[in-house]
Structure 1
Amino acid sequence: MLSTAFIAQLETQVQALSATVDGQLRPLPSQELNYKPTPTAWSVLECLEHLNRYSRFYNPELARALQSAPAGAPHEVGFSWLGRKSYDTVKPENHKLQKTVKHMNPAGSQLTAEVVEEFLRHQQQLLQLLAAARTANLNRKAVRVEFFRLLKLRLGEALQFVVAHEQRHVQQALRAAQTAQARGQEAVLVV
């Protein structure tokens, strides 16, 4: 895919994520935001906090990579084996459960609605990074992998990984919210 179309596609996906979280998750009451569908499942806030922890690493890492990236003309975006594997692991269509590294696991954290606000701020930062990436060489290996910082992803691969990872966990958060709302409606019917 040509780099201009690739960035435009990611921008559209990030805008959709922001709109979904702002419109469907932000208005929820605290008890629904913190509701865990099962004892081991994440609540809405835990899903978003997990993404916030990744954004705290990847947004500055992407900004650093973009500062040193040479400008270039539109080009075909290429993918390495590591980039394809990283994307395949987190893409929303992959329903296989993945273990996260311990420091990225928010289970059991005391979380408030500020988690949602932080997520939305990170999305605005990501949109700014995508705008800066429009003229960058997306095939340049420049972004360290969070869990093993000696490995590097290409700039385009890292951007795609971040957005797909967010899509995956926002879908998970929506499922948790639906379960919480269904549970609340059942309680009203029983009373």
Structure 2
Amino acid sequence: MKFSTSELLDELKNKTKQHLHFAEILSLKPENDLNFRTSADSWSTLECLEHLNRYGNFYIPEISRSISSANKSPQSYFKPGILGNYFAKSMLPKEKLNTMKTLKTMNPIHSQLNKGVIDIFMKQQENLLELLEEAQYIDLGKVKTSISISKMIKLKLGDTFRFVIYHNARHIEQVKRILTD
């Protein structure tokens, strides 16, 4: 399987713009609603976004470093790696979302959070959009990034973008469910 690089980047930019727009809508809601949880052990809206911010704090600088040190050699097609494709696909939202264990450092449950979390998330989405723009000039398959669970494992940049943005989409869907409960 391979993707047209421009189509993949366009898809990821569109998803990121949707996430940014959704965050703008969230910023209008009362903080009480954003801190509501459906059960004692579930995340609130702000905890979902804080979780995404923690991943963004790792991946955005990592992606930025990889892009800035890459040679300008765009390719028409991107072929996902086996591991990267698996990680990315596992993040895609599904009808019946399977719960996944998160790393302790990435778990924000019972944190005292305010709307500043949304501002950070929106800034990260803007940063992602800038990085996606820059990515059109490099080889998404040749440039590699470390992953948050191990510096030893490297993913192709295209897979890292897919993982991060699909992970965002997954938790945006979670937030939508929280807000309708």
Q: Which residue of 2 aligns with 1:34?
A: 35
Q: Secondary structure at the match of 1:111?
A: coil
Q: Which letter does structure 2 place at the counterpart of 1:46?
A: E
Asked which structure has the greater CA Rg, the reply is: 1
What are the residue-to-residue correspondences of 1:42-57 with 2, within 5 Å?
42-57=43-58
Contact (CA 8 Å) 1:4, 1:74: kept in 2 or not?
no
Q: 1:108 aligns with which of 97, 107, 110?
A: 110
Q: Secondary structure at the match of 1:53?
A: helix
1:69-93 residue CA offsets vs partner (Å, 9 max, x unmatched): 2212332111111111111221112
Q: Which residue of 1 aligns with 2:93?
A: 92
Q: 2:21 aligns with which of 3, 19, 26?
A: 19
CA distance in 1 between counterparts of 2:74 and 2:27 reads 39
Q: Which letter does structure 2 place at the counterpart of 1:37?
A: T
- What is the Cα deviation at residue 52 of structure 1? 0.2
5+ unaligned residues in a row in structure 1: which ranges? 180-191
Contact (CA 8 Å) 2:58, 2:148: kept in 1 or not?
yes
Contact (CA 8 Å) 2:67, 2:143: kept in 1 or not?
no
What are the residue-to-residue correspondences of 1:37-186 with 2, within 5 Å?
37-93=38-94, 95-179=97-181
- What is the Cα deviation at residue 176 of structure 1? 1.1
Tell me the TM-score normalised to structure 2 length. Answer: 0.95
115 and 5 in structure 1: CA distance in 2 versus 1, 3 angstrom threshold: same
1:124-152 residue CA offsets vs partner (Å, 9 max, x unmatched): 00000001001110002511010112100
Q: Which letter does structure 2 place at the counterpart of 1:36?
A: R
Contact (CA 8 Å) 2:74, 2:136: kept in 1 or not?
no
Contact (CA 8 Å) 1:141, 1:152: kept in 2 or not?
no
1:48-70 residue CA offsets vs partner (Å, 9 max, x unmatched): 00000000000000000001122
CA distance in 1 between counterparts of 2:93 and 2:143 reads 24
Point out the structure with the larger helix share: 1
CA distance in 2 between counterparts of 1:140 and 1:100 reads 29
CA distance in 2 between counterparts of 1:176 and 1:95 reads 13
Moved over 4 A (4+): none
Q: Which letter does structure 2 place at the counterpart of 1:68?
A: S
Q: Which moved more, 1:2-11 or 1:114-123?
A: 2-11
Percent identity of equivalent pairs: 31
Contact (CA 8 Å) 1:21, 1:170: kept in 2 or not?
no
- What is the Cα deviation at residue 35 of structure 1? 0.4
Between the two proteins, the alignment pairs up a number of residues equal to 178
